[in-house]
Amino acid sequence: MPADFSPWRLSVAPMMDWTDRHCRVFHRLLTRRTLLYTEMVTTGALIHGDQPRHLDFDAVEHPVALQLGGSEPADLAACARLAERWGYDEVNLNCGCPSPRVQRGAFGACLMGEAALVADCVKAMRDATALPVTVKHRIGIDRIESYDFVRDFVATVAEAGCSVFIVHARNAWLDGLSPKDNREIPPLRYEIVHRLKREFPQLTIAINGGIKDEATIAEQLAHVDGVMVGRHAYHEPWSMADWDERFFGEAPNGLTREAVEDAWIAHLEALWARGTPWAVAMRHALGLWNGTPGARRWRQVWSDHKLKGLPPRQVQALATSARLGSVTA
Ligand SMILES: Cc1cc2nc3c(=O)[nH]c(=O)nc-3n(C[C@H](O)[C@H](O)[C@H](O)COP(=O)(O)O)c2cc1C
């Protein structure tokens, strides 16, 4: 029997252009228990765009949460319904991305300045679906440094029925910093998130931002209900191989990089058989051998444009030879 852990104990962050369905299949080969988030999908893209393209996913990805970007309660409700219809396990509202303004108002981190609107959004989504509705946000916007700001935001949104908050522990500076700089420059303040958990013990509070090793994950789990990891998980995927054992008390999974690579190539072959170039998926797995001899050569072979027309097993053979040093790549 799996122990009774919070579904939010460990998750991989939503990351645009990165955590697409292929990336999530890859991550699932490394950890069965970690919750995976989609990239943010805007309500406009879902309502007016190609829904299967945005929403289809592979059954192996469960548990998987759909992250939405939007600020119109009715639109978000419609999209929450779609999330349920497609079989997602959760729907998450992005209140943390420093995105530019969009046609019908603002979304992302700007929403932190409009807690009542976020509450309306959450209410509408909760009325539309039985799925858990969660919110990902920052600790503040621009130069607002006070704890009260984020506390009031959480209190208002919790009143509308949201009980799970994933908190990126830095402000979003909406006045000129690029999204990338907004993930680096505003200082991390973990203690603010710990304080939220202390003041709202009944809520599920997960922390995010700058968590780069397993010791820090363990340390954070002493203060909050969950840890969301973004860039570290993406760039050092093998680090996730012992998460199930370490953080969910599972028996050792006996995974090897070779076995993960082999299962991953099977995914690439399935894509290839359907006429989809394997490179669209493989870019997410280039870090698999990081930290081992030959990792760079292995990555170089998989990134070589001249090889993109070959079947994946052939490229794998070349990459493995390069990695093991029998061929100079
Ligand atoms: C390439 C990239 C794309 C991102 N896209 C999203 C997104 O779509 N939605 C979101 O809420 N956060 C997004 N983020 C922010 C991450 O979810 C996370 O909050 C941030 O990277 C901090 O966590 P980390 O230090 O563990 O990476 C993105 C981050 C990166 C690096």
Taking only the tens place, the pLDDT of each residue in 274-284 is 999 999 999 99
The span from the CA of 13 to the CA of 24, in Å, is: 11
Is 0.75 surpassed by the pTM of this model?
A: yes
Whichever domain contains 133, its CATH number is 3.20.20.70
- Please check whether residues 116 and 62 belong to one and the same domain: yes
249 CA from centroid of ligand 1 (Å): 27
Number of compact structural domains in the chain = 2
Residues with CB under 6 A from ligand 1: 13-18, 39-40, 67, 94, 96-97, 136, 168, 183, 208-211, 229-232
Closest C-alpha to ligand 1, atom 21: 230
- Please check whether residues 94 and 126 belong to one and the same domain: yes
Closest C-alpha to ligand 1, atom 7: 15
Q: What share of the chain is helix, strand, coil (3-state, %, to 5)?
A: 50, 15, 40
Residue that is last in its domain, among 248, 272, 298: 248
- Please check whether residues 237 and 312 belong to one and the same domain: no
Ligand 1, from 183, 190, 207, 216: best to mutate by most atoms within 8 Å of Cβ? Answer: 183
* Tokens at 87, concatenated: 């079989």
Summarised one tens digit per residue, pLDDT across range 110-158 is: 899 999 999 999 999 999 999 999 999 999 999 899 999 999 999 999 9
106 CA from centroid of ligand 1 (Å): 18
For residue 2, is it within any domain? Answer: no
Distances (CA, A) of 61 to 88, 215, 312: 10, 26, 22
Domain that holds residue 295: 257-324
The span from the CA of 163 to the CA of 154, in Å, is: 9
- Please check whether residues 269 and 244 belong to one and the same domain: no
Residue that is last in its domain, among 199, 231, 248: 248
- Please check whether residues 212 and 102 belong to one and the same domain: yes
203 CA from centroid of ligand 1 (Å): 22
Helix (H, G, I), strand (E, B) or coil at 92: strand
Distances (CA, A) of 291 to 30, 100, 102, 184, 295: 16, 37, 42, 24, 7
Q: What residues act catalytically?
A: 97
Give the pLDDT of residue 174. 85
- Please check whether residues 111 and 72 belong to one and the same domain: yes
Summarised one tens digit per residue, pLDDT across range 57-99 is: 999 999 999 999 999 999 999 999 999 999 999 999 999 988 6
Instruction: Show Cβ contacts of residue 85 under 8 Å, excluding neighbours closer than 6 positions.
Output: none
**What's the CA angle centered on 70, arms 64 and 72, to 5 degrees?**
125
Residue that is last in its domain, among 248, 269, 292: 248
